[in-house]
Amino acid sequence: MVFVFRDVTKKYKMQEDLRQSEAKSCALLAAIPDLILVQNRDGVFLDCYTTNPDILFVPVERFLGKRMWDILPKEIASSLTAVFEQALATSRMQVYEYQLPIAGQRRFFEARIVLYGDDKVLSIIRDITESRQAEEELQKIEKLKSVGTLAGGIAHDFNNILTGIYGNISMAKEAIPAGTPGVEFLEDAENSMARATRLTKQLLTFAKGGTPVKEDINIGVLVEEVVRFDLSGSNVKPVFEKARDLWIAEVDKSQIQQVFSNLTINADQAMPDGGYLFITLENSDISKDAVPGLDQGKYIKITVRDEGIGIEQKHFGRIFDPYYTTKQAGSGLGLATVYSIIEKHGGHIGVDSEIGKGTIFTLYLPALGSRQQPVNSIHPEVENTMEGQTGRVLVMDDEDMILKLVTRMLGRSRFSVETACDGRQAIEMYKQALGAGNPFDVVIMDITVPGGMGGKEAVGGILEINPEARVIVSSGYANDPVMTNYAEYGFKGIVAKPYTRNKMLAVLNQVLGE
C-alpha cells in the first residue's frame, strides 16, 4: 500500500482568504446606503444589498431570479437593458438617470452599472431626488431672474404710459356730469386700466429690487379676508381651520395678499361647478433638512386644497414657470408670481394633485414664535381728496405727458405747479424759489431720468439747500428699493405710477399734514 501525502495548507489558506474576502465584500456592500444589485451576464438578479429599504419600490424577493423587464416599466427597462449591454461590451462603468413614481411621488434615481469579475454585473442605484429637486429649484429661480430683467426694463416706460391714460380717464370722468352716457364708457376703461395695473405689478414681482418689506402680520386674518373677498359671488365656499395659538408671520403684506389672491382665483377656476376650498394654517418648527430648500426655524404652514379638476403629474415641474399655463384663459403669471414671492420671503411652496380629485398647495412662511394679535382690515381706506388745500408744487419728470397731467390734476385743486425735466433743473429751481422768498411746499420727483439726474440723486441736493424740504418720490418701477425704503433716502412719501388724481392728492395731504 502506498500512501501519498500532499501539503494542502496553501490551498486551504487560499480558500479561507477567498471566503474572508467575499465576507468582507458582502459586509461592505451591505453597509453602503445605495441599493446594490448583482446580476449575471444574462441580466438575471442574483443578490440585493441595501441599508435603506425605502429605495426599493418592490419587495426584495421580487428581484431575485428576475430580469429588468419583469419588474420595471417597459420604457425604463428598455433603456437600462441597453446601458447594461453597453457595460458588458466595453467593460466600463455606465451611468444612467431615470425616474419612477413611488407612493404617488416622483423619485429620481441614478444607476451605475459595471462589470464585476468575469461573470457578474453590479448595478449601484442611488436616490438623487433631493439633489435633482434642488437643481430644479435653482433653474426656476434663474428663469424668474430672466423675466425680472425683462420686467425691470419695460416697467418704467409702461407705467408712464398707463399713468397718462389712467390719470386722464379719471379726470375726464370727473369733468362729465353724472348720468351722462359717456361716464359708463369711462368707468369700463378705468376697470380695464385696473387690470393692466395688476398685470404690471405681477411683472414687477420678478424684477430686481422686489425685496419684501416685511412687517409683523396676523396671517390668519389676512388670508381669510383675501380668500373671502375673491370668492364673493362664487359657488366655491371657503372652509378655514386655524391653530388657536397661530404665530405672527414676518411678511410683506401686499405681496402675501397677492399670493393668496392668485391661489384662490386658480382654485375658483378649477371648480366651475362649485365645491369647497379648504385652507389650514398651523405652526411648524422646521428642523434642519426637514423640508428641501428650507432653513431650520419657525414657520407657519398653510395648505390650500381644492376639489377641482386637478393637474397632471407631467406638468408639476413647470407650473411655476413664467407664462406656462394649462388653462385656456390666463397669462401664466399667477403661480410664477406666487413662487417668486414665497422664494423672496425665504419660504417654500410645493404642489400635489390628482386628476379629478383636486390640488393641494403647501406653503411655509417665516414666523416669530409668539402668538398673533388682531390687526386692522386689509382693505384700503377711502382716499382724502383735500380739495381745500393750496400750495406750490415742483414736479420733476422726463415725460412731458406726465408733467402735463400732474399740472392739470393739481391745478384743478388750486395748487400752483411748476415743472422740471431732470434733477439738476429741479435743484436749481428749488434754490431760486427759496432765495426769492417764494419756496415750494412740496417737490414730486421721478426716480429715473435716462441720461440725466434722477430723483434718487436730486433729493440729496434739495435737502442740502433745505433739510426740512418735503420731497415725494414717484416711479413706474414700484419695486425699486427707493420706493420700498423711501424714508432712508430722504423722501417724505411715495406715489407709485400709475395713479389717479385722488391718489396723488391723498399723498400730498399726508406729506403736507406732517
pLDDT digits (tens, 9 = 90+) for 330-357: 545 678 788 888 888 889 998 888 888 8
pLDDT at 12: 65
C-alpha cell of residue 370:
409668539
| Superfamily the domain 391-513 falls into | Response regulator (3.40.50.2300)
| Position 383 pLDDT exceeds 50 | no
pLDDT of residue 327: 54
Residues of the chain with pLDDT > 90: what percent?
23
pLDDT at 498: 83
The average pLDDT across 63-73 equals 83
- Structural contact between residues 171 and 188, judged by C-beta atoms closer than 8 angstroms: no
Band (pLDDT 50/70/90 cuts) for residue 35 is confident
Mean per-residue pLDDT of the chain: 80
Average pLDDT of 75-102? 86
Quickly state the pLDDT bin for 56 (edges 50, 70, 90). Answer: low
Q: How confident is the model at residue 1 (pLDDT cuts 50, 70, 90)?
A: low
Query: What mean pLDDT is predicted for residues 203-214?
Result: 62
pLDDT digits (tens, 9 = 90+) for 94-150: 888 888 777 667 788 888 898 887 788 888 888 888 788 777 777 766 766 666 666
Q: What is the pLDDT of residues 286-313, one digit of tens each?
A: 876 677 678 888 999 999 999 988 877 6
Q: Is 23-127 a domain of CATH 3.30.450.20?
A: yes
Homologous superfamily of domain range 215-371: Histidine kinase-like ATPase, C-terminal domain (3.30.565.10)
Query: What is the torsional sign of CA 64, 67, 70, 73?
Result: positive
Find out whether 370 and 247 touch, Cβ atoms under 8 Å: yes
- Report pLDDT for 381: 39
CA-closest candidate to residue 79, choices 89, 88, 69: 69
In the predicted model, what is the mean pLDDT of residues 51-55?
65
In the numeric block, the cell 415743472 is attached to: 419
Contact 417, 468 (CB under 8 A): no
d(CA 111, CA 15): 33
d(CA 313, CA 488): 47
What pLDDT is recorded for position 158?
A: 73
379: confidence class by pLDDT, cuts 50, 70, 90: very low
Buried b (16+ CB within 10 A) or exposed e, 109-131: bbbbbebeeeeebbbbbbbbbee
Residues with Cβ < 8 Å from 177, sequence gap 6 or more? none
DSSP helix, strand, coil percent of the chain (3-state; round to 5) = 45, 25, 30
- Report the run of H or E that residue 498 belongs to, with start and end: none
Cell of 400: 412731458
Q: How far is CA 273 from the centre of its chain?
A: 29
Strand, coil or helix: 62:
helix
Domain with CATH 3.30.565.10 in the chain: 215-371
User: What is the predicted pLDDT for the residue at 332?
Assistant: 54
Cβ–Cβ under 8 Å, residues 241 and 366: no
Sequence-distant (≥ 6) Cβ neighbours of residue 297 within 8 angstroms: 285, 286, 366
Where in the chain is CATH 3.30.450.20?
23-127
Of 439, 448, 445, residue with least CA distance to 468: 439
Q: How confident is the model at residue 315 (pLDDT cuts 50, 70, 90)?
A: low
Q: Confidence band (pLDDT; 50, 70, 90) for 73?
A: confident
β-pair type (493-496, 442-446): unpaired
pTM of the model: 0.50
Whether 125 and 34 have beta carbons less than 8 Å apart is answered as yes
Specify the domain boundaries for CATH 3.40.50.2300 within the chain.
391-513
Q: Which residues have a Cβ under 8 Å from the Cβ of 161 and sit 6 or more positions away? A: none
The pLDDT of residue 445: 94
pLDDT band at 264 (very low <50, low <70, confident <90, very high): very high
Does the domain spanning 132-206 belong to CATH 1.10.3210.10? no
Question: Grid cell 419756496 — which residue?
Answer: 439
| Per-residue cell: 200 | 404690471
Residue 463's CB is within 10 A of a number of other CB atoms, namely 15
